[in-house]
Amino acid sequence: MDFLRAAAHKLGVDLDENQQAQFERYRELIELRSKQFNLTGLKTWEKIRNELFIRSLRVLSPAGGNVPTPEWFTDKRAIDIGTGAGIPGIVLKIALPELHITLVDSNQKKTNFLTEVVNALELSNTKVINGRAEELAQQNDHREQYDVVFARAVARLNELAELTIPFANIGGTVILPKSHGSEEEVEEAAAAAEILGAAPAITIPVNKPGNSPPDDMVYWMKISSTPDKFPRSNGIPHQSPIKSR
Ligand code: SAH
């Protein structure tokens, strides 16, 4: 826990006793439930701490330039698409209690787990939705309703563009943690991102805190409305990602 606290501190986030207890309880629930179903491949405390918790916190790394700083996240409306065990959504919610977050996953076992976590940790302003991004982004309650959209380890960027950009409001930001070396994927997704309403991607290499392999944070700023026909039906963004106009 000290290592996690130190990592958060490097980002300007000082975890109080309640937040530390929340991380502890979250870790216990991950360990318990991942014995019962396929929740996450990372099952030891060291892996949960390094690969799930600390690596998620890298989203808050003050990257400088034209991208969000940790303070920026306070009070924002966020959504995490394909959150799985709550990565990065739950981690960020614990670190930033003022964040309003919606956690989306199509897998019912995972969303049941997330509901258990939200109740056990007494997380405020946290909504769990079992559903597909393609359908939710066509609903007025969710379409262009979020200041920040996260998705980690869900799909290649050319598909992910269609699953994330429609949720961002104009002026909002899509933040996608990717393993370092994402240039080719970013390039491959450039036409899709533009069609969906994003400015050209900004990619920032981030290797701190923690000792996980280096990541790239890929940012898409939403500058115009997503055309009505996107996202297309379930599975289509995967089967035939948008290529060009
Ligand atoms: N973000 C987590 C989980 C990654 S696994 C992490 O980084 O550990 C990808 C998750 O995305 C799975 O739980 C899967 O159920 C979910 N998923 C995949 N496609 C989806 C879609 N179209 N809509 C909602 N959830 C989706």
Summarize the confidence of residues 117-121 as an average pLDDT. Answer: 98
Which among 106, 167, 176 is the best mutation to test ligand 1's pocket, defined by most ligand atoms within 8 Å of the CB?
106
2-239 is classed CATH 3.40.50.150:
yes
Residue 200: asked if its preceding bond is cis (omega within 30°), the reply is no
Burial class (CB in 10 A: 0-12, 13-18, 19+), 17: exposed
Work out the percent of the chain whose per-residue pLDDT is above 70: 97
Q: What pTM value is reported for the model?
A: 0.97
Summarize the confidence of residues 162-187 as an average pLDDT. Answer: 97
With cut-offs at 50, 70 and 90, classify the pLDDT of residue 100: very high
Q: What pLDDT, on the 0 to 100 scale, is given for residue 71?
A: 77
Work out the percent of the chain whose per-residue pLDDT is above 90: 88
Q: Ligand 1: which atom is nearest the Cα of residue 151? A: 1
Summarize the confidence of residues 176-202 as an average pLDDT. Answer: 97
With cut-offs at 50, 70 and 90, classify the pLDDT of residue 135: very high
With cut-offs at 50, 70 and 90, classify the pLDDT of residue 34: very high
Q: What are the domain boundaries of the chain?
A: 2-239
152 touches ligand 1 (CB under 6 Å): yes
Q: Does 29 score more than 70 pLDDT?
A: yes
CA 79 – ligand 1 centroid, Å: 13
Q: What pLDDT, on the 0 to 100 scale, is given for residue 214?
A: 95
Beta bridge partners of 216: 178, 205
With cut-offs at 50, 70 and 90, classify the pLDDT of residue 64: low
Residues 6+ apart with CB under 8 A from 150: 59, 78, 79, 80, 81, 83, 88, 89, 92, 174, 175, 176, 177
Q: Ligand 1: which atom is nearest the Cα of residue 105? A: 25
Q: Ligand 1: which atom is nearest the Cα of residue 110? A: 13
Mean model confidence pLDDT for the chain: 94
Q: Does 174 score more than 70 pLDDT?
A: yes
55 touches ligand 1 (CB under 6 Å): no
148 touches ligand 1 (CB under 6 Å): no
CA 75 – ligand 1 centroid, Å: 25
CA 204 – ligand 1 centroid, Å: 23
